[in-house]
Chain A
Amino acid sequence: EIVLTQSPATLSLSPGERATLSCRASESVRSSLAWYQQKPGQAPRLLIYDASYRATGIPGRFSGSGSGTDFTLTISSLESEDFAVYYCQQRTNWLSFGGGTKVEIK
C-alpha cells in the first residue's frame, strides 16, 4: 500500500497570500496524483489530475507539480472561497488518499 503524507496539517494564511501544499508518497506514483478541495458539508471537488492538469472549471490560480514521490499544490493568491481542506490521492498501487491539509484564515 502506498502511503501519502500531506504537510503541513494546517496552513494559516491571509487572503491574497500564496499557499504551498505538499504531498509525499511512500514510493513512486509516477504522475498519477490528484488533488481535491473539500469544504464543510460538501463532497470533495477534483482540482488537479495527473499531477499537473487542472480539472474542468478550476481557476488558473490552482496549479500542481511534481512526479515520483514529491508533489505540490500551489494556490497563487488565496481567495476567500479557497479556505478549505485539500487532499491528494494516488491510483498507481491500489488507491489511497492523503490525510489532508487544512488551509485556514490567519
Chain B
Amino acid sequence: QVHLLESGPGLLQPSQTLSLVCTVSGGSISRGVSYWSWIRQLPGQGLEWIGYIYHNGLTYYNPSLESRGNISVATSKNQFSLTLTSVTAADTAVYYCARLRGDAFDMWGQGTMVIVSS
C-alpha cells in the first residue's frame, strides 16, 4: 500500500519561500503512470489544485499560481517537492500531496498546515 507523507515548516513570514517535501513509501515514484501532485485547502474552504509532476520531470501547474510554484521530483529518494515563492497570508492552508492516477487522486498524504504570518 502506497503512503504519502508531507513535511516542511509550519510557519513562514510574508515574502518567504515555502518548501514542502512529500515522501512516498510502499511503491516506487518512478513506476506506473501516476502523476505526483500538490493540493491545498484554505481554512474552512474547498480544495485547490496546485500542480503535478511525472517521474520524468514533466510538470503542470494551476495558472492561478501566477508562476510562483515549482514542483520537482527526486526519484532516488522517492520524493517530490513543492516550492512556492513570495508567500502571503493568502497562502495559509493545509497542503496535501497526492497521487493522481488516471483522472482521480487515489492516495493522499495526511496534510501539513502552513501558516504565513509576520
Query: Contact residues of A with B, CB < 8 Å?
Result: 1, 32-34, 36, 42-46, 49-50, 55-56, 87, 89-92, 94-100
Contact = CB atoms under 8 A, between A and B. Distances in A.
B96 A97 contact: no
Contact of A95 (B49, B102, B106, B108): B49
Q: Of B100, B106, B110, which is in contact with the most chain A CB atoms at under 10 Å from its CB? A: B106
Contact of B111 (A32, A43, A96): A43
A44 B108 contact: yes
Chain B contact patch, size range? 10 to 19
Interface in B29-70: 46-49, 60, 62-63
Nearest to A96: B49
A46 B39 CA distance: 14
Given A43-B96, A43-B111, A98 B46 contact: yes
Given A43-B108, A44-B108, A95-B62, A49 B103 contact: yes
Contacts of A46: 104-106
Q: Does more than half of chain A's interface fall in helix, strand or loop, or is it mixed?
A: loop
Interface of B: 46-49, 60, 62-63, 96, 98, 100, 102-106, 108-111
Q: Of A33, A91, A100, which is in contact with the most chain B CB atoms at under 10 Å from its CB? A: A91
Given A43-B96, A100-B46, 20 more contacts: A1-B63, A32-B103, A34-B104, A34-B105, A36-B47, A44-B105, A45-B108, A46-B104, A46-B105, A46-B106, A49-B102, A49-B103, A50-B103, A91-B103, A94-B62, A94-B63, A95-B60, A95-B62, A97-B46, A99-B46
B110 A97 contact: no
Contacts of A36: 47, 105
7 contacts: A42-B110, A43-B96, A50-B102, A91-B104, A95-B60, A97-B48, A98-B46
Contact of B103 (A55, A90, A98, A100): A90
Contact of B106 (A32, A49, A90, A91): A49
A49 B107 CA distance: 13
